[in-house]
Homo-oligomer: A and B are copies of this chain.
Amino acid sequence: MGPPWWQAKFRGCGYRITIAREVILNTLAKTEDHLSAEDIYNHIHTKHPNIGLTTIYRTLDVLTNLGLVYRFDFGDKRARYELAEGPKGAHHHHHLVCTGCNRVVDYTDFIDAEVRLLQEIEQVLSKKYGFKITNHLIQFYGLCSRCQADG
């Protein structure tokens, strides 16, 4: 099945391929969640006690700069990460965040309509404000059913 899909991008940018990087990327690839650096450390630590938290932070920076990973702020005080594109390619989505328990739901409903409007807006804003727009962020905040019940 050839070399893992991400290694080309890695080499192309002069980055080395290391166990730590492979393990971290695989951890993100396997989960549905939006993991923090420490989450990843905990997931990994039993099998790889020699990978330090510092390396995880550094690797997440690299991955983010390469565009392989997105970094999010959901309002708890730590950065959270998710894979931007997997072996199967990207599946663009936006987020629904519970302000009660910090649960995060991916949704793709209306994504097409959203993205269509966003592109229209980007065009206008680019021209009007002289920005070169590279990215957007859409999040909805509210209370999940569980947190509504807890009142």
B117 engages A113 (CB within 8 Å): yes
Known contacts: A121-B114, A125-B107. The answer to whether A98 contacts B140 by CB under 8 A is no
Q: Kindly state whether residue A124 has any CB partner on chain B within 8 Å.
A: yes
- For window 77-115 of A, CB contacts with B under 8 Å fall at 96, 98-99, 105, 107, 109-110, 113-114
A77 to chain B, nearest CB (A): 10
What is the CA–CA distance of A122 and B110 in the complex, to the nearest angstrom?
10
- Evaluate contact between A141 and B135: CB separation under 8 angstroms: yes
How far apart are the CA atoms of A128 and B140 in the complex, in Å? 14
Taken together, the copies of this chain in the complex come to 2
Partner of A129, one of B105, B113, B132, B135: B105
- Which residues of A129-147 have CB atoms within 8 Å of chain B's CB atoms? 129-145
Assembly CA distance A129 to B133 (angstroms): 31
Q: How far is the CA of A134 from the CA of B97 in the complex (A)?
A: 10
B137 pairs with A139, CB closer than 8 A: yes
